[in-house]
Structure 1
Amino acid sequence: MENNILGTNLVCQIAMIVRDVEKATLRFSKLLGVPAPAIILANEDGSDTVTYMGEPTKGRVKLSFFNMENTVIEFIEPTEDPTTWKEFLDTKGPGVHHIAFKAKNRMLEKAAELEKFGFPLIQNGDKYAYLESTEDLGVILELLDID
């Protein structure tokens, strides 16, 4: 994978923006016949440092995660905080927001390489970075600083 800028070809997450995370979570759990996961309000306490388009934001968001056999499916309901999630819902409506790749201990390094490649950083927190790649790929790329 020496020419692979990401350093991996394993997708670890697919995320959808929805208007109502509770409804989407219940519908998906019924579709799969599995218990509905907990819904969390991420960054409610402001412990994550979130930057959107170069500016600090609270970055609060409602989330649920389905741990599938081969990837994680994430449902995201934006709050009123300025974020890529809110912009996506306001401009495009519900839909696939991003696909994520693991970048353990290399998130910022890989984000810098992707910016040089032409995918600018649009939002990041302590453990994630979103890069604008929709013009070329039809979806935002996410790097996750996770195992």
Structure 2
Amino acid sequence: MSLLFGGVCQIGYVVRDIEKAMRHWSDVLAVGPWFYKEAVGTTEFRYYGQASALPDLSIALANSGGVQIELIQQRNDAPSLYLDSLKHAGEGMQHIAYWTDDRFDEYAEALRARGYVEGHGGRMGMRGRFAYYMHADLPGNIVEISEMAGGKGEYFATIAAAARGWDGADPIRGIGAGQ
């Protein structure tokens, strides 16, 4: 538990083949169901504080208990921490995330005051802001702050509820571009 942000809400993994990763998590680890969006639709993006090309992202989300698991595959070469992580560490866990309804700026300032810098950030569609922070002392320790505005909180609650009652059926559920 963080005294600053509460409990970790999400663990994110960068992968090269998201369909394969979802199958592994659901078939081998029995985690699901996965809510899969092939084209996320990032609308704003910064890389180390500068406006940047938009990454073409596919994302899958599922819950394991009270923690959301996120799988991320970037399908283009726009600069991002996702590609940086793949290059330096390969596939695997890339970040932990804390969520907030109304304290995004406060959380971001708390990280900056402790020596963290924003590696990348932005917005996906009409949903709330997100930002990934890094610290020179622990460069592989990426912390995401995610704002639950724009329906994101309700969407994540739906994913958590589906996991609680999941019986293994329909393990991968495609989500349309409007989500």
TM-score class normalised by the smaller sequence: 0.7 to 0.9
**1:145 matched residue in structure 2:** 147
TM-score, normalised to structure 1, is 0.84
Residues 17, 89 of structure 1: 8 Å contact kept: yes
Matched, 1:63 2:65: no
Q: Which structure 2 residues correspond to residues 88-127 of structure 1 after superposition, within 5 A?
A: 88-126=85-123, 127=129
Q: How far, CA to CA, are the matches of 1:113 and 1:98 in structure 2?
A: 17
Residues 132, 143 of structure 2: 8 Å contact kept: yes
Q: How far, CA to CA, are the matches of 1:74 and 1:33 in structure 2?
A: 15
Q: Which runs of 5+ in 1 are unaligned?
A: none
Q: Which runs of 5+ in 2 are unaligned?
A: 124-128, 154-179
**1:42 matched residue in structure 2:** 40
Residues 122, 131 of structure 2: 8 Å contact kept: yes
Residues 26, 36 of structure 1: 8 Å contact kept: no
CA 1:135–1:21: 2 relative to 1, 3 Å? farther
**1:22 matched residue in structure 2:** 19
Q: How many residue pairs align between the two structures?
A: 141
CA 1:138–1:82: 2 relative to 1, 3 Å? closer
Q: How far, CA to CA, are the matches of 1:19 and 1:104 in structure 2?
A: 31
1:86-118 per-position Cα deviation (integer Å, ceiling 9, x unaligned): 111122211211000112222122112211210
Deviation at 1:136, TM superposition (A): 3.1
Residues 123, 131 of structure 1: 8 Å contact kept: yes
Q: What's the % identity of the aligned pairs?
A: 28
Q: Which structure 2 residues correspond to residues 70-81 of structure 1 after superposition, within 5 A?
A: 70-79=66-75, 80-81=77-78
